[in-house]
Amino acid sequence: MEYATSWIDKNVREGHWTGETFGQFLRVHATSRPNDTALGQGEVSISWSNYLSEVERVAGGLSRLGVGVGDRVSVQLHNCVELAISVLAIWDIGAVYQPLNPMYRAAECESLIAAVDPKAVICSNSSMEFDHANLLDEVTDRLSCSPIKVIVGTTRPGWTNFYDLDGPANNIAQDPLRTALLGTTSGTTGKPKIYIHIQATQIFEAKALCQGLTFGSNDVMLAAAPMTHRGALMVGLMTSLVSGSRLVMGEARNTREIASIIENQKVTTFMGIPTIVSDLLHLHDREEWDATSLRVVLASGAPVTAELINRFHEQWPNTLAATGYGLSETGWCTFLRIADPPEKVYSSGRLAPATEIEIRDQSGLPLSLGETGEVHIRGPMNCAGYLKNDEATNQAIDADGWFASGDLAFMDKDGYLNPVGRSKHTIIRGGLNIYAEEIEHMLQEHPAVREVAIVPYPDPRLGERACAYVSLHAEASFDLDELVRFFSELDTARYTWPERVEVVDELPRNPIGKIDRIAISNLLQNLPG
């Protein structure tokens, strides 16, 4: 899938896509401020000049192994210095970065690798969860594919050590209109939906964020959220390259660790799910720790409550709290800042630069201000579509470049977007997406299950959790313990498993005979527990 020539010409003509690349930003900083710290993790820190040297070393090594322009490289790493170096090295040789969430198990990895067909994979087996290298060996053997394998932090037969990569710098002229990122936006088993982004869309978004939130070279950014998610990759690696700020790789395991990093590294800005932000505020109430360096906190990945915004304002009045609305396919479309009027705290803010939003009814016709419908988005941050999936691309993007989000909202008279819900069946658990229909398809294979609907139920910390609402075949039994056993055998990521089971005789249906998810959600809210 590629952009229409007219769309490329429009964005170039209007100055949105300027021809810059992330490699150019890196080289500018390495030349102008070679000794300033660019990147760090724990006690490790590297300067801008060393950052560039490491990127060129790894780029040269990958090129020597046979990775070239347009080749896909799957990377399964937690937030670490090696992840940042790997991403930029991949782009430096004109290849494509495809993140593999370190939480993914065999089913998810196999589905994505089958879809992407990577030329190379990069991982570490030092994770506490499981041995990633062993998992990828098993997956590639089952798929009968033989990607180049690179491992971080250890040696392993059949794998090249990351630190042994070396070769002459391959000075490929990076094309910002070339595919750079393949990310997953739907479920990852079966046939995943893999969106396509070029560098130009991402650079435009990074510039908009830097301008809107005034990121600069004096900032210290904490990458606390996993950068396998595009939002965290953007408000981390990409904005740090554009702004020249120092990036601290964290992905801390708990709130206290995040607080410690903020205090010790004098972090000025970070992005976290609302749960993390709330936990930091509670921790600040209970324990003495220095948060005075914080300048901007961007809350994303789940709805932000007015209560949280107000608590933030009271406790950290000198820190900018911001949130917004966007999708992996479209980038940050709106921004809400604490300086906005108090009555707008329930909204997602106003439009980002050069971004258009239309609210449409079920027939695709635009609605008036205040009327609720589906959010459609058009702008220079939009993706090109979905990999090897013309059907999904055509369903999401129309001939005029409008992307159908699947989200419901209305626009008020002041230009603030007000989300109402999701028309797609997605549950957001602590910033992680659970795709209800995919889980339903899996559970439908259980011999006891006749029908199932996966619906959200509220959680004060994570926002939502998933509940399995099931009807059973005659004389069958099913409970949470059986659900856990079933999903354990499927070897899927733990966060996707429903955490509650409700067994009923019949699932409620709407007048046309479809399962009524709204009715189920209402029933669930009235049940104990």
> What mean pLDDT comes out for the span 352-369?
92
Task: Report the top-level CATH class of 21-175.
Answer: alpha beta
pLDDT digits (tens, 9 = 90+) for 199-240: 999 999 999 999 988 899 999 999 888 888 888 899 999 999
Strands of 3-158 (E only): list them: 37-41, 44-47, 72-76, 96-99, 120-124, 148-152
Phi/psi at 333 (5° precision): -90, -35
pLDDT digits (tens, 9 = 90+) for 95-134: 999 999 888 888 889 999 999 999 999 999 765 567 889 9
Confidence of residue 425 (pLDDT cuts 50, 70, 90): confident
What does the pLDDT read at residue 290? 92
Q: Average pLDDT of the chain?
A: 88
Confidence of residue 179 (pLDDT cuts 50, 70, 90): very high
The structural architecture, per CATH, of the domain 426-525 is 2-Layer Sandwich (3.30)
Q: Which residue has the tokens 């050069």?
A: 354
**One-character DSSP codes across 390-451:** HHHHHHHB-TT--EEEEEEEEE-TTS-EEEEEESS-EEEETTEEEEHHHHHHHHTTSTTEEE
* Domain locations in the chain as residue ranges: 21-175, 426-525
Mode of pairing for the β-strands spanning 350-351 and 417-422: unpaired
Retrieve residue 228's tokens.
């396998």
Confidence of residue 512 (pLDDT cuts 50, 70, 90): low
Kindly state the helix (H) or strand (E) to which residue 271 belongs, with its residue range.
Answer: strand 269-272
- Number of helical (H) and strand (E) elements in the chain, helices listed first: 16, 26
What does the pLDDT read at residue 189? 58
What does the pLDDT read at residue 190? 62
Position 104, amino acid: Y
> What mean pLDDT comes out for the span 415-438?
78
What does the pLDDT read at residue 288? 82
Is the model more confident about 269 or about 274? 269
Separation between Cα atoms, residue 438 and residue 517, nearest integer Å: 15
Of 117-126, 253-262, 459-468, 507-516, minimum mean pLDDT range:
507-516
Q: How many CB atoms lie within 10 A of CB 422?
A: 17
Which pTM value belongs to this model? 0.84
> What mean pLDDT comes out for the span 297-326?
82
Confidence of residue 43 (pLDDT cuts 50, 70, 90): confident
